[in-house]
Amino acid sequence: MRDSLTRRTFLKSSALALAALAASAGTAAASPLLRGPDNEPDEDVKTVLRERFGTRPIREGHVTLDVPDVAPDSREVPLLIESDLPMTADDYVKGFHIIVDHNPDIYLAGFNFTSAIGAATLDTRIKMRRSSHIRIIAETSKGELWSTSRFVYTSLNGCV
Amino acid sequence: MRDDIGQGKIILPAKISRNAVINIRALLSHPMLTGMSRDQAGIPIPAWFVKEVEVTYGGDRVASFEWTSGISRDPFVGFSLRASKEAPLTVTWKDNKGGIFTHSADVKFTTTTAEATR
């Protein structure tokens, strides 16, 4: 009897904790929990970046990623990528690169543009194996690299 | 096996004026299999996914995409285009098994607002 009471109390308190967690997920994008682990890429990610971009510096800024903090379905995580970099005939965003640290293919996709598209925007849906940083790198026609990253929590396993 | 593979569409805005930057949406029916899953009998399902996408506008290549199987099933992509001319916009998807799928839509100016206000 005493045991079952303890168990009930435990379940109740864990349910409350979960509710609090869900509430914080819904409201505070900047909550420490949702900021996720350290933003520093691991060795595998660094290797991919080196293979793609050599020793060129990757700076933060000029590209934004809109993605849910918690992906309800990790088989279809919607991404919206935009950049405020110029889009003129001789200075334009040549491409966006999508890197997902903990996916089987770390380099998930590349999108190459010409100045004819007029604006650097991209909207697509990706799979995530598990909670991970998503890194977006914008590459300009002059060879500059600008980036942003977000940590996204996933629920269901995404690799089908 | 699904029988709609390769079907797709290109969605353009309803109204397009000359030189406006418009949003293009391209959809393809494709399983985008990673090769890491198994069927009910435990037999691995081979990878089958779109690797390359090419976008041409009036015959000129304006964008190209390099994909892995990390793009979701029935791949969707939205991007911008400056509507500089009345011409077909064509998207070609190529998968790792040699499948080539092409869909296009005609960019046509419905208003002359941009010119009238100039």
Kindly report, residue by residue over A23-52, the tens digit of the pLDDT.
Answer: 444 444 444 444 567 788 999 999 999 999
* Residue of A18 and A36 predicted with greater confidence: A36
What is the pLDDT confidence band of residue B2, given thresholds at 50, 70 and 90?
Answer: confident
Closest Cα in chain A, distance from residue B79 (Å): 5
What are the pLDDT digits (tens) for A108-117?
999 999 999 9
What secondary structure does DSSP assign to A91-125, as a single string? B-EEEEEEEETTSSSSEEEEEEE-GGG-S-EEEEE
Helix (H) or strand (E) holding B71: none
pLDDT at A100 over 70: yes
Burial state string for A12-25 with b = 16 or more CB within 10 A and e = fewer than 16: eeeeeeeeeeeeeb
Compute the distance between CA of residue A101 and CA of residue A43 in angstroms, rounded to an integer: 10
Say if the Cβ atoms of A121 and B79 lie within 8 Å.
yes
Q: Choose the mutation target among B65, B82, B89, B90 for the interface with A, i.e. most A CBs under 10 Å.
A: B65
What are the pLDDT digits (tens) for B37-70?
899 999 999 999 999 999 999 999 999 999 999 9
pLDDT at A105: 96
Residue A68 near residue A119 (C-beta atoms within 8 A) = no
Q: What is the mean pLDDT of residues A129-136?
A: 95
Residue A15 φ/ψ, nearest 5 degrees: -65, -40
How many Å separate Cα A151 from the centre of its chain? 5
Number of helices and strands in chain B (H, E):
1, 7
Helix (H) or strand (E) holding A75: none
pLDDT at B117 over 90: no
pLDDT at B90 over 90: yes
Say if the Cβ atoms of B34 and A108 lie within 8 Å.
no
pLDDT at A12 over 90: no
Compute the distance between CA of residue B75 and CA of residue B68 in angstroms, rounded to an integer: 11
Token pair of B71 as six digits: 């793009």
Q: Is A73 on the interface with B (CB under 8 A)?
A: no
Instruction: Measure CB to CB from residue A75 to each of B64, B72, B84 and give the nearest one.
Output: B72
Task: Give, rounded to a whole angstrom, the gap between the first and last alpha carbons of chain A.
Answer: 45
pLDDT at A16 over 80: no
Closest Cα in chain A, distance from residue B14 (Å): 18
Q: Is B57 on the interface with A (CB under 8 A)?
A: yes
Closest Cα in chain A, distance from residue B66 (Å): 5
Q: What is the DSSP letter of A62?
A: S
pLDDT at A75 over 50: yes
Residue B32 near residue B8 (C-beta atoms within 8 A) = no
pLDDT at B23: 97
Question: Can you tell me whether residue A2 is helix, strand or coil?
Answer: helix
Number of helices and strands in chain A (H, E):
3, 9
Say if the Cβ atoms of A117 and B82 lie within 8 Å.
yes
ipTM value for the complex:
0.91
pLDDT at B118: 42
pLDDT at B54: 98
Say if the Cβ atoms of A105 and B84 lie within 8 Å.
no
C-alpha distances (whole Å) from A34 to each of A4, A29, A71, A78 are 34, 6, 12, 17
For residue A117, give the nearest of A84, A94, A137 by alpha carbon: A94
> Whose structure tokens read 């998207």?
B91
Instruction: Measure CB to CB from residue A108 to each of B57, B64, B68 and give the nearest one.
Output: B68
Task: Give, rounded to a whole angstrom, the gap between the first and last alpha carbons of chain B.
Answer: 54
pLDDT at B110: 87
